[in-house]
Structure 1
Amino acid sequence: MSRMDNNSWSDPGTSSVNGLFSLINHSCEPNSQWKSEGSHLTLRVTASRDIIKGEQIFIEYDQFMSTSP
Structure 2
Amino acid sequence: MDLPRNVGGRDRILRGVLGVWLVVVAVAAYSEDRRLSAAVAGLSGAGLLQNAATGFCGGNFLFGIDTTDDACALD
TM-score tier by shorter-chain length is under 0.3
RCO comparison, higher one (Cα < 8 Å, 6+): 2
> Structure 1 length normalisation: TM-score?
0.23
Which of the pair is proportionally richer in strand?
Answer: 1
More helix by share: 2
TM-score (norm 2): 0.23
Highest Rg: 1 or 2? 2
